[in-house]
Structures are given as structure tokens and as C-alpha cells.
Amino acid sequence: MASYRLPAEDRPYFTPGFPLWLPLEHASRISSLRGPATAEFSRGDRRNPIVSDTGELAWNLSSQGEGAVTIDSPRSQGLIGFGSAETRRPENMTAKLSNAFSAILLTSLDGKPIAESERILLTTGARVANTGMEWNGGHTELAKWGGPPTLIEPVTGEIDLHGLEGATAVLVQPLNGDGLPLGRRLAAMRDGGVWKLTVGEPATPWYAITVRR
């Protein structure tokens, strides 16, 4: 319980001087709950970006607090954060969006790396709220929870897919809340080795992508 009396800047690890960014870069664990007190750490210099040991996760920070997270693995890739933040690019995706903040995830559905996949799910998200939902004056908790239907801020703009090996066509099918086709299937535009997808119309948070080879 003595750890709770430590300064707030030592939370959530409650170890004096423990660099809070370190678990984002390396695996960490508690070695003992009965051992002697941990010696004080030298905080060291925080890196920017902070990149995990595997290279698959990166946190880009900014002095204004508008950062971004990059996910870059063979079968799942993503961009999460503020559009104004500089960020590392996943191997197979870039985005030019009108939203101030968004989360974009690209996931292989057939077990193959995205570069070789024929079925990919694109998920896009921004702000979400119930109808009639209201915050209190300090914007710290909800004054009214509201109710259905749930309202979304559509993610709008262009998402580019790179390095789709041998692709001859890329088809994009917007999906409704049940995961069924919503409107007509669209063909991505090809620009050299880049396939350009327009998102946001119709308003939906996910798209089924079919890659033909």
C-alpha cells in the first residue's frame, strides 16, 4: 500500500524513476512482490518515436500532445491518432484523411500476409456517440447517456494500399452493421504500384476488400 503514496508521475508502476515509456519498447514484468524495494532508476532520454523490440508498434509523440500509433505486422496494420502527427508508415498502407483523429486497421482474413492476401478487412473509426448524449460542463463525465441509434463520425478521405503483389484489381465493398454489403462495390484506382481507395461514402466503419490476381 505504500506505493500509493508515491508521486503521481510514478504511476502506474509505482517505482521511483521508472521510465514510463520503457514497457512500450521492451517486455516488462514484476519479479517479486516480497523482495526488497526496487532501486531508483535513471529515467534516461525518452525516444521519439518509441519503437517496440519487434518493430511492429511505434508511438510518435508531439509537444502538443497530438501523437499517433503505428501497427506494422505482416497480417495486421494500422494507423491510430491525429492526422497532423508525423508517423511511421506501415508497409502496405498510407492515408490522407479529413478527420482530425481516426483509427484505421487493415487485417488479412485468409491467413496470408497483407501483401499476398486476397481477402482484407478495412476498419475505420473516429468519434462515436449515442443520440442525445451530453457531457457535463467540465467534459469529464456524461450528464446524459442518450440512446439509439448510435451516431458515428465517418472517416473520410483516401487510403492507399502499397505492395499488393501481383494485384490486377482491388474491389472495395462497404459493409453495414450486420457485415452485409452496403451499396455497390467499388473499384480502387491504380496509380503505378499503389491502389487508391476512397472512404466515407456511404458512411460506414468497415469495408471488405477483394484483391484479384
pTM of the predicted model over 0.75? yes
Yes or no: say if 121 and 205 are a contact pair by the CB < 8 Å rule: no
Q: What is the pLDDT of residues 172-187, one digit of tens each?
A: 999 998 999 999 999 9
pLDDT category of residue 3 using cuts at 50, 70 and 90:
low
The closest of 202, 155, 211 to 183, measured between CA atoms, is 202
In angstroms and rounded to an integer, the radius of gyration of the C-alpha atoms of the chain is 21
Task: Give, as one character, the DSSP assignment of residue 181.
Answer: B
Cell numbers representing residue 165 in the block: 503483389
Element (H, E) at 119: strand 119-125
What residues contact 70, with CB distance under 8 A and at least 6 apart?
Answer: 49, 57, 58, 60, 78, 79, 80, 87, 88, 89, 90
Name the percent of the chain lying above pLDDT 70: 89
* Angle (nearest 5°) at CA 168 between 162 and 169: 80
Q: Where are the domains of the chain?
A: 1-46, 48-212
pLDDT digits (tens, 9 = 90+) for 189-210: 999 999 999 999 999 999 999 9
- Give the chain's mean pLDDT: 88
Amino acid identity of residue 16, one-letter, is P
Q: What is the pLDDT of residues 10-55, one digit of tens each?
A: 777 777 777 778 888 888 877 777 777 667 666 566 678 889 999 9
Continuous segment of H or E residues that includes residue 23: helix 22-25
80-133 tens-digit pLDDT: 998 766 677 899 999 999 999 999 999 999 999 999 999 999 999 999 999 999
Pairing mode, if any, of strands 147-152 and 101-108?
Answer: unpaired
Q: Are 85 and 66 in contact (CB under 8 A)?
A: yes
Closest CA to 196 of 163, 162, 167: 162
Could you tell me the three cell numbers for 13? Answer: 508502476
Please enumerate in sequence order all residues whose Cβ is within 8 A of that of 126, keeping only pairs 6 or more positions apart, or say none: 99, 101, 102, 103, 152, 153, 154, 155
DSSP codes, 190-202: EETTEEEEEESSS
State residue 41's pLDDT score: 65
The residue among 78, 36, 34 whose CA lies nearest residue 57 is 78
- The residue written with cell numbers 462497404 in the block is 174
